[in-house]
Chain A
Amino acid sequence: MSDHIVSSFDEELNEITDGLINMGALVLAALKSVEEILKNNDHNLAQKIIDNDLQINDLGQSIEIKAFNTLASRQPMAFDLRLVFSAVKMSLYLERCGDMCKGISKRILKGDLTEADSPNTIESLVILTNRVYENLSLVLDDYAARTSEKSLEVWSSDSEIDSIYSDILMEILNNIKSKPEAIEALVPLFFIARYLERVGDQATNIAEVTHFIVTGEVLTDEKEIQIENETTF
Chain B
Amino acid sequence: MVNTKDQIINVFDEQKIRKNEALISCSGVNVFYSDKQALFDVNLDIKEKEVTSLIGPSGCGKSTFLRCINRMNDVIETCSIEGLIKINGQDIYDPKIDVVELRAKIGMVFQKPNPFPKSVYENVAYGPRLHGMFINKSDMDKKVEESLVRAGLWNEVKDRLQEPGTSLSGGQQQRLCIARAIAVDPEIILMDEPCSSLDPIATAKIEELIDELKVNYTITIVTHSMQQAARVSQKTAFFHLGHLIEVGETENIFRNPINKQTEAYVTGRYG
Contacts and interface: CB of A to CB of B under 8 A. Distances in A.
Nearest to B264: A2
Contacts of B187: none
A75 interface: yes
Contacts of B257: 78
Nearest to A2: B269
A80 B267 contact: yes
Interface in A68-90: 74-82
Interface magnitude class on chain B:
10 to 19
Q: Is the interface of B mostly helix, strand, loop or mixed?
A: helix
Interface string B163-178: 0000000000000000
A75 B254 CA distance: 11
A191 interface: no
Contact of B269 (A3, A74, A82, A217): A3
Contacts, number: 44
B255 A5 contact: no
Nearest to A74: B268
A7 to B, nearest CB: 11
A225 interface: no
A194 B264 CA distance: 44
Contacts of A9: 268
B185 interface: no
A119 interface: no
B263 A78 contact: yes
A162 B267 CA distance: 40
B226 interface: yes
Contacts of A5: 268-271
A180 interface: no
B171 to A, nearest CB: 22
Nearest to B225: A75
Nearest to A75: B227
B268 A4 contact: yes
Interface in B202-255: 226-227, 230, 254-255
A216 interface: yes
A145 interface: no
A189 B263 CA distance: 49
Contacts of A74: 268
Given A2-B264, A75-B227, A81 B269 contact: no
Contacts of A3: 269
Given A216-B255, A216-B256, A79 B268 contact: no
B266 interface: yes
Contacts of B270: 2, 5
B254, B255, B267, B268 interface centre (most CB from chain A within 10 Å) = B267
Interface in B1-26: none
Contacts of A78: 254-257, 262-263, 266-267
A3 B268 CA distance: 9
Nearest to B271: A5
B177 to A, nearest CB: 27
Contacts of A2: 264, 269-270
A6 B264 contact: no
Interface string B29-47: 0000000000000000000
Q: Which of A9, A78, A79 counts the most chain B CB atoms within 10 A? A: A78
A77 B254 CA distance: 6
A161 B255 CA distance: 33
A77 B269 contact: no
Given A2-B264, A81-B254, A81-B255, 6 more contacts: A1-B269, A3-B269, A5-B270, A77-B230, A78-B256, A215-B256
Interface of A: 1-6, 9, 74-82, 215-217
Interface of B: 226-227, 230, 254-257, 262-264, 266-271
